[in-house]
Every structure is written in C-alpha cells, then in structure tokens.
Amino acid sequence: MQNRLKDSSSPYLLQHQDNPVHWHMWGEEAFAEAKARNVPVLLSIGYAACHWCHVMAHESFENEAVAALMNERFVSIKVDREERPDIDQTYMTALHAMGQQGGWPLTMVLTPDAAPFWGGTYFPPKPGFGRPSFSQVLVALSDAWKDEQGRIGRSVASIQNALAKAAAAKPGDPPGPELLDAARAAFLRSMDWEQGGLSGAPKFPNIPVFRFLWHEYFRGGDNACAAAVHLLLDRMSQGGIYDHLGGGYARYATDDSWLVPHFEKMLYDNALILEMLAFAQADKPTLLYEARARETVEWLVRDMSAEGAFAASEDADSEGEEGKFYVWSRAEIAGVLGEETTFFERFYPLPEHGNWEEKIILERKAPFGPDEVQLAACREKLLEIRIQRVRPGRDDKILADWNALMITALVKAGCVFARPDWVALAGQAFNTLLAAMSQTDGRIAHSMRHGKISAAGLLEDQAGMIRAALALYQATGAQGYLSRAETILAATETHFGDGAGAFYMSADDAGDVYAPRGRNVQDGPAPSGIGLMAENYAMLFHLTGKLEYRAKAEALLAAYGGRGQALTGSPILLGAADMLANAACVVVTGGAEDLAQAALAAADPAVLVLRGAAEVDASHPAYGKPDDVKAAYICRGNVCGLPVANVEGLRHKLQRFTWNNSDDVV
C-alpha cells in the first residue's frame, strides 16, 4: 500500500503525492482493492487553485493519525475536478440530492461499486461549531459500513434515482418569447443595483447570466439589461477582484462590493469576462473597458502561456497564505513610490491599517482621466517589486474547453478593440489544440500536460471548440475553420448524442464513469456543453443556411423545453433560442473587408458575419448574391436587406431595432 499520485500528470494530484494517505488515482485498481478488502471508498475531489482544498490537506491529509484512519478503514481516491469534470459533476449532483450545498473540496463516500451513499465538503480537524471533526466522520462512516448495510443500501437506491432524474431530459416546447421575458425579469429582480452583479455575498461574475441579459438587451429593448451588464463590468473592473497591477480577474469576491477576492485566477472566468468587455465596449466605449481588456490579455500572454495554449489557473495561496502575493501595507507602497504615494492614493485608497486583515487590496476609486500615464508608471513600479515575491502556484495543464472559451473571447475582443494580433493569437492557440489534442475520429481530448493527454474529451470540449472554430471562421473567412467545426460536430453527434436531440456529458465509450451518464443543461460559472451546442447549431444554420442545423437546434431546445421556469438556470440555452430566432447574418461581398470588420465589431451577440454567399445552401436568403460588388447584406429570417456600401451605414443598421423585415429587401 502506497501513495500512487506521483505517477499523475495533474498538478493538483501531484500536490498530494507526499501525503501519508495511500491515495489512488481514479480507476479500476482502487475499486478492486475496496471490493477485496470490503471497505468503502473515500473520494476527495478538488483542484490546484482551491484554497480550502489546501487547508484540508494541511490539516488532515498531511496528518499521520488521520491518514492512518483513512488507510485502515477506506480506499482513498483523489480526483482533479478540472481534469475529470464528469466525475465531479456526478458526485456533486449526488451531494445535492442529499440536500447539501456543494463546494470544494468535495468529500464523498462510495461503495466499492462507486455508488455514493454519503457526502460533504470541507471537514475541520477538530470538532466545533456543531460540526464533527474529520476523524470522527471517518470512524462513524466506517462503522456504518460494517453495521448498517441495509440503511446504506436504501441511501444508494435513493441517490441513484436522483441521479437518473437529474440526467433525464424533459421535452416540451422550445423556449419562446414568454419564457425569455420571464427569465429576464427574474434576473433583473435579483440584481444588486448599487454594487453590480447578483445581490448578496459572495459575489461571482456569473457571466452566463449577464450574457443572456445582453441578448435580451437587443431582443427586447430593455435598457435595464444593458445597465446591469455595464454596472457589473464597471464595479468588477475597479474593485479588488481585479488585479490592478498584473491584470486579470479573480474567481469571485467574498464580500458584496467586489473588494476582497478569493485570489485564485481561472482561465474560464477571464475568457468570459474578456468577451463581455468587448460587447460592452462595442455598445458604449470607455477607457476602462479598453484598459481592462488590454491588461487581461497581457496577463494571459505573460503569465498563462503554456505549450502554445493557455494554462488552467493561478493559485490563491503563496507561502501558505491566501493572497500574500497580491496584498500590501501602506508602508510597502510608500517605500516603492516615495513622493508619488500621495498622488497614487487619490486613485487607490491606502488606509494605514489596510482594508482587509490589516493589509491593502488595491481597488480604484476614481474614474479614468488625464493622469493615466503617471498612474501606469506607479503601477509598473509596484509590479516590478511584486514579481520578486514568491508566486502562487500555477496549474499548467491545458484544458480544451477553457482554452476554447478564451479563443472565442480573443477573437471578439480583437475585432472590437482593433487588435488583429489578438485574433492571430486565438488562431495559434486553436491550431495548437488541434495538433496536440485531436483524436482520429474527430473528437477533441479534454486535458493535456507536457504533451501527454490525461483525460478524454467531454461535451464541453467539443462544443467549445466548435464555437471557437466558428468565431475564427467569421473573423478570417477561412473555410478550413468551418470544415473543422463540422468535423468535430459529426464526432460529437456520434459519441455524445442521446438519440433524441440532446447530449450526454461523457462519450459513449467512457468506461470509467459511474452510471447513469450525466446530461447537464445547467450553467455554472462557465457555460454548459448543451447550451453551447444549441448556440452552435443556431450559428451554423445562419452561416450556412442548412435546414438540418435549424432542425437540430430546435430539437435540442425542445429536449429541455419541459423544464419551464427552471430554464433560468440555463441562460446560455435561452440565449441560443434567441440567436436561432433573431440572429442577423451579415453577408459581405466583393471582398469588402472594412464592412466585414464593422460587422465583426457589432455589440449585438446575435450578429454573425459571412464573407460571400458562394458556399451557402440554396435555402439561405443570401443565396445567389453576386460577389463582384463591395457591399454588405443584413439577412434576418428569410430575407436580406438592400446592400449597404459604407461602414457608417452598416453600423447604423446593426444598431438595435433599426433594421427589420419591413425594409425593402432583395
């Protein structure tokens, strides 16, 4: 018996390779041992940047006495939730079925057949505040396994039923205007109209919700939707959740005013926020949005580049303390800035006793103005000192789904901020993923580190890469991106489709996933694969005119139509319903690149761009348009508007509600 994690490629698992716990990686060997010993399995799921995962590791997994209990009474398995989100999703759903709130570290107890029967999250090393210690939990569960098999069997059956119910689709009518209206109203009621974001603390960006509201801003003309998005971005971008020296946004704020972040930085958060900054800039340009987008991409390139793509995350902790890398004292800042300290604190408050645990988290309290050059120089001086500190750990594995989100964001931001180098960076990352993670059947693997694939592809990987390919196709006009999107799509339908219009999270040949195969339509901090697939089908329909894509989009939307108001938990799917019904395809002819760039920089997320009409299906409204005249046709529904020959005219028509099917059409 030994700790087997040294053979893993996951940075998170490698953090635990020296624990006295006899950790297994997920696999048949662990469950075979549990069966042979007739002991339950203790499953611990976390990720490299997780602060409370580190806390529980130091308190319990590095403790010889606790480890001895685990080794004697359980077979223990460690899982990186980012490497195996399918496993995490299954057991997090099981925890919810037990009536408990989720989080990480996720601690589950399983039968030797991988069936969950008990679970929780973080457990302290000593009892207190009405909670048992982790050691007490271990003894109680081990004794229950020996003495209460009947009770455990009933728990297993109940949870299995809940998992099956959660995995089931619920067919009904596809989401229509009434449901979209209701979802919009529900989200707006939940807004914090003073600090931005959803009300309460902790505060997460919740970008899928705000992406849906952005769709609603253009679909229904509700200015409150735009106001909610702009307020969110304004407050986050000036708050402590943003790294004012190094760029990039932390995962969430622990307070209700965006001041105190949970300092970990995740690739997916920054991808989704970057894309929203681009949409917001296209709607209402500000120096703030431009600066945050530029600084976030600089952080991405400087700190997150890995193997030709982008690393997964940066940790919250360094030297055993959360946030130590990022926070300051007033004396430290004054020692760096000297006489400029008084100037600097006009923009960034520097209270003598700090604003968090006697330390200072930088937040900006003044708008942009004429002093930006001097301010930038001050920040650069502080950054030069900060980079000499011990850095937080970096999880450098490459995740296809998160990288795909960043590729899509770089394309949109590159178009809006006139940064073709960002579009080129997106293309390079996309090609890296294809070269390193494509499978022979067209699928994309999920996780890679140091050139070694460590996890098979999931629905989110396929959906994200299709979406990224379509973004690059629109931005460049290169047909190869469309072909690749359709290749990945065919493999996705074959291996992930459920035969009734929806999709499973894991593939049909995934042999190590506890049944039933999960289907997740709920968006979390990142979009669900099902929501992205609905969006992909909608985009493919408008870009190609192929009616089969419309039919598949409608079938996928209908597969969950019976969820009714519960679809407020699936805002990306609702946005896809809007895109299918209302998208505008701007068809640019005659090589009018200035018109293409103007359309690519549109604020409306349901504006798609197609160069030339030669490749579209005969059912596309732009079919047959001549390609010898420099013009742009805005096509909605079954018709295209009159040709637009200049950039300003096109921009005007792409504004809200200025183009409709009552215009003269051709």
Q: What is the largest CA-CA distance in the chain?
A: 81
What is the rounded distance in angstroms from the CA atom of residue 358 to the CA atom of residue 169?
A: 51
Low-confidence stretches of the chain (pLDDT < 50) are 657-666
Give residue 137's pLDDT.
Answer: 94
Give residue 101's pLDDT.
Answer: 86
Hey, which residues does 44 pair with through a beta bridge? 78, 107
Q: Which CATH class is domain 5-167?
A: alpha beta
pLDDT in tens, 182-193: 999 999 999 999
What is the rounded distance in angstroms from the CA atom of residue 225 to the CA atom of residue 184?
A: 8
Tell me which residue has tokens 């982008």: 310
Give residue 659's pLDDT.
Answer: 41
Cα-Cα-Cα-Cα torsion 640, 645, 646, 652, nearest 10 degrees, comes to -20
Give residue 626's pLDDT.
Answer: 87
Give residue 613's pLDDT.
Answer: 81
Q: Give the sheet arrangement for strand 394-395, strand by strand.
A: 265-266, 313-314, 394-395
What is the rounded distance in angstroms from the CA atom of residue 151 to the CA atom of residue 536?
A: 46
Give helix then strand counts, H and E, for the chain. 24, 21
CATH architecture of 178-316+395-581: Alpha/alpha barrel (1.50)
What is the rounded distance in angstroms from the CA atom of residue 7 to the CA atom of residue 78?
A: 13
The type of residue at 226 is A
- CA distances, 506 to each of 443, 529, 555 (Å): 12, 11, 20
**What is the SS3 assignment for 344-404?**
HCCCCCCCCCCCECCEECCCCCCCCCCCHHHHHHHHHHHHHHHCCCCCCCEECCEEHHHHH
Query: How many C-alpha atoms does 414 have within 13 Å on its Cβ side?
Result: 19
Give residue 656's pLDDT.
Answer: 58
| Burial track 581-598 (b if 16+ CB lie within 10 A, e otherwise) | bbbbbbbbbbebeebbbb
Grouping H, G, I as helix, E, B as strand and the rest as coil, residue 318 is strand
Give residue 657's pLDDT.
Answer: 46
Contacts by residues 486-489 (CB-CB < 8 Å, ≥ 24 positions apart): 486/540, 487/442, 488/442, 488/443, 488/444, 488/462, 489/462, 489/536, 489/540
* Spatial contact of 555 and 196, defined as CB atoms under 8 Å apart: no
Tell me which residue has tokens 């937080």: 392
Q: Name the nearest CA neighbour of 201 among 262, 142, 243.
A: 262
What is the rounded distance in angstroms from the CA atom of residue 245 to the CA atom of residue 384?
A: 9
| Burial track 631-646 (b if 16+ CB lie within 10 A, e otherwise) | bbbbbbeeebbebbee
**What is the SS3 assignment for 156-221?**
HHHHHHHHHHHHCCCCCCCCCHHHHHHHHHHHHHCECCCCCCECCCCECCCHHHHHHHHHHHHHHC
- CA distances, 503 to each of 170, 480, 498 (Å): 13, 25, 5
Residue 249: DSSP 8-state: B
Hey, which residues does 55 pair with through a beta bridge? none
What is the rounded distance in angstroms from the CA atom of residue 219 to the CA atom of residue 283?
A: 15
Tell me which residue has tokens 């500190």: 389
What is the rounded distance in angstroms from the CA atom of residue 86 to the CA atom of residue 520?
A: 10
What is the rounded distance in angstroms from the CA atom of residue 294 to the CA atom of residue 302?
A: 12
Q: Name the nearest CA neighbour of 412 among 271, 583, 535.
A: 271
